[in-house]
Structure 1
């Protein structure tokens, strides 16, 4: 096997690992975003419950203090107006999301295990990438390795080092032409 073929295969393996790493990082980002949304929903649910508890306390205190029924109804009406107008958005979203949350709670365990699995996969790919030392860490990007493969396939570079040199030269030319 020619040196160019060996270097080309070497670069293709690195490229495949980089693409796998990018997919895993994208999935981790998705899971993190999903987890943050769950926390927000939980917080909204807790606030909704606190509002209801506060209302019940107002009613119980009013009954305990034997406030006139008209005053108690007035206080309740004011509370409901404030509650409905100021916190309407939270209430509507809470009702819509309570169904979704019930389903998500079922999948929470699988969610956490998948997230941990993705983190483990990322670390595994990263360790494997570290074994490919011929390409410096700062050049282990999908774009760079793709260009290096292109140089070797076109016959412009015979070795990995030449391909890296040509890529550096193209980048320098590209930066100076801007």
Structure 2
């Protein structure tokens, strides 16, 4: 299976729940696709105006096909999270998230036809970004990293993406 075929399978899987935009520009860098997901949960008594609580949950997923993933690609993605994705897409340019924000995941999915460089494999496992808003009262945002190594038929991820790695492995993507 080639990387482009895998990308189409992943996007087909995501299209039922996510809003997908192809291609997507992240501060001058072009990704193959961007998928956005939002779910709202609320509890109310008798009528909807008597709301007890509300929680908004988001996921921003960025897809990119590469020949080979190296450490520079991961550094670039981290820089984009700090400079554009978190402030613009998660907070919407505001100082803090909205009142009922619970969490936002910023997920990078990289599909590598030629494998993963040796230095990048360790960086993938150690990749971390986490930010609380108002000591957690306005939720948090976290970066997840998922790498499909097509050449070696492996799925790699950081600690935050541990469940995603398990899920895609069980789904038999390869």
TM-score category (smaller protein): under 0.3
TM-score, scaled relative to structure 2: 0.19
Q: Hey, which of these two has a bigger chunk of strand by percent?
A: 2
TM-score, scaled relative to structure 1: 0.19
Larger radius of gyration: 1
Structure with greater contact order relative to length (CA < 8 Å, sep ≥ 6): 1
